[in-house]
Amino acid sequence: MTERSTAGLGTPWPAPAKLNLMLRVVGRRPNGYHELQTVFQFIDRCDRLWFDVRDDGRVRRLTSVSGVPEAEDLTVRAARALQEATGCGLGVDIRCEKMLPMGGGLGGGSSDAATTLVALNQLWGTELDEDALSEIALPLGADVPVFVRGRAAWAEGVGERLSPVELPQPWYLVLAPPCSVSTRDVFCHPELTRDSVCIKLEDFLSGNAVNDCLPVVRRGYPPVEAALAWLDHWGGGRLTGTGACVFAVFDDRERALDVSRQAPAHLQAFVARGLNRSPLLDRLDQEVASSSLVADS
């Protein structure tokens, strides 16, 4: 990412990371997509985005992403999808400050897309409801709707059938190994378990937190295996999504920070709080309130 000054652009819009606290692959559809059961929870580690509305309909990305052409950037695709769905003639300049690693299983690109949809729906005045935005979101990626809705969720289907859940909000130590895991490669791997028995939310809450992608990722990505082995010294680690990021759960922030300071130097380590409500919804509430004050003045 090539950073540019964001001074004077106003309050940014957050695009939070997520963790998959459990991931079961319970089947495969004829079109190749996998049937899943998973649990999403947000954390307070976020990318930050700024949106400058244009009158000419152009959508421009003003911060580059290594290896991602502008036309393929999910923020650009999200903005254009919203234009197409609503007929909106406005455009936007998009600036993004990346804090979330690519290919880490934290959902950074999907979250950036969702933030773009939610922010522009407000800034452009297109006034779509949450269900309509989620329909636009799904073709952009199976994880995008959960970021649009902004609530921790039990998910089924390809991850699009969401049921809000209230979960404990612990502290997480997240490690980002120096590698990127291809979700496509993991789901195409011949050794991936694809017939796990379906469970219920109560089973997960009772401790059934298996990630079916873990064995494939451990064997195929030695840096992930090494990070998990290190976390085993502190009570065990878990894989989020298809990785590469791994995490451990702590009740106490100071304890999580203490362990993070001992992480090997080659691992990016950070501590974040689990959240059942996305900070994106709080930012949207601020924007709505601000717009109402302007309208009433």
Annotated catalytic residue, options 18, 47, 98, 212: 18
The predicted-structure confidence for 231-278, as pLDDT tens digits, reads as follows 999 989 999 999 899 999 999 999 999 999 999 999 999 999 999 999
Annotated catalytic residue, options 47, 112, 143, 212: 143
Q: What is the DSSP string of 131-178?
A: HHHHHHHGGG-TTHHHHHHTB-EEEEETTTEEEE------EEEEEE-S
pLDDT of residue 1: 36
Q: Is 107 annotated as a binding-site member?
A: yes
For residue 278, what are the contacts with CB-CB under 8 A and spacing of at least 6? 14, 16, 42, 147, 150, 151
Contact 269, 230 (CB under 8 A): no
pLDDT of residue 247: 98
Q: Is 145 annotated as a binding-site member?
A: no
Q: Is 180 annotated as a binding-site member?
A: no
The predicted-structure confidence for 165-215, as pLDDT tens digits, reads as follows 999 999 999 999 999 999 999 999 999 999 999 999 999 999 999 999 999
Q: For residue 255, give Cα distances in angstroms to 41, 60, 249, 251.
A: 21, 43, 10, 8
Domains and CATH numbers, the chain: 11-297 (3.30.230.10)
Q: How far apart are CA 272 and CA 154, in angstroms?
A: 21
Confirm whether 212 is a catalytic residue: no
Neighbours of 284 (CB within 10 A): 18
Q: How far apart are CA 234 and CA 227, in angstroms?
A: 11
The predicted-structure confidence for 66-119, as pLDDT tens digits, reads as follows 889 999 999 999 999 999 999 999 999 999 999 999 889 999 999 999 999 999
Give me the chain's average pLDDT, please. 93
Q: Is 99 annotated as a binding-site member?
A: no
Q: Residue 47: which of 93, 6, 79, 85 has the closest Cα?
A: 6
The predicted-structure confidence for 7-54, as pLDDT tens digits, reads as follows 446 899 999 999 999 999 999 988 888 999 999 999 999 999 999 999
Q: Is 110 annotated as a binding-site member?
A: yes
Is the pTM higher than 0.85? yes
Q: Is 8 annotated as a binding-site member?
A: no
Confirm whether 44 is a catalytic residue: no
Q: Is 105 annotated as a binding-site member?
A: yes
Question: Residue 297 — very low, low, confident or very high, per pLDDT cuts 50/70/90?
Answer: low
The predicted-structure confidence for 115-143, as pLDDT tens digits, reads as follows 999 999 999 999 999 999 999 999 999 99
- The 3-state DSSP class for residue 107 equals coil
